[in-house]
Amino acid sequence: MERTDFVSVPVTDTERSIRFYGETLGLEQVGHGGYPEFQLGENVSLYLIDLTSVGREFSGPHTAYIALRVPDVAETRAELEGKGIVFSGETFDSGVCHMAFFHDPDGNALMLHRRYAPAS
């Protein structure tokens, strides 16, 4: 394997999801048309897919969190709460990183993340 190119996220309303990921979260859209992608850092993108476009049904959201690295979890959380994002509980401090959990409009699990201690 060379790297991860994209992470697929199932959505039920592509236009609503484009607005959420692009306007609300402020991610750069790099793919357009029926298969929009949003850049996450240097080497991976988040790919929105309406499963009905490939002959499948939406059977539920991702429940494993996609960690979105941000410079400051508290600051970004406050900004997103101002845009109407509801977080699940308080920001969690693991002893090496801060995490704040939330969901996209389809219920896909997302988190704001920032490691503050060196990896061992």
Dump pLDDT digits (tens) for 14-35: 999 999 999 999 999 997 767 8
Domain count, the chain: 1
Q: Which residue has the tokens 């309406």?
A: 50
Q: pLDDT tens for residues 87-120?
A: 999 999 999 999 999 999 999 999 999 999 876 6
2 or 83: which leads in pLDDT:
83
| 120 assigned to some structural domain | no
| 81 assigned to some structural domain | yes
pLDDT of 82 strictly over 90: yes
| 106 assigned to some structural domain | yes
The DSSP bridge pattern shows strands 66-69 and 109-115 to be parallel
Confidence class for position 47, pLDDT limits 50, 70, 90: very high
**In the chain, what percentage of residues exceed pLDDT 90?**
73
| 75 assigned to some structural domain | yes
Look up the CATH number of the domain holding residue 111. Answer: 3.10.180.10
| 30 assigned to some structural domain | yes
> Three-state DSSP class for 89?
coil
Sheet with strand 109-115: strands edge to edge: 66-69, 109-115, 97-103, 92-93
| 52 assigned to some structural domain | yes
| 105 assigned to some structural domain | yes
So what's the pLDDT on residue 120?
A: 65
Of the candidates 21, 19, 10, 20, the residue with the CA atom closest to the CA atom of residue 54? 10
| 1 assigned to some structural domain | no
Q: For residue 108, how many other CB atoms are within 10 A of its CB?
A: 22
Q: Which residue has the tokens 């993108």?
A: 45
Q: Which domain holds residue 94?
A: 6-115
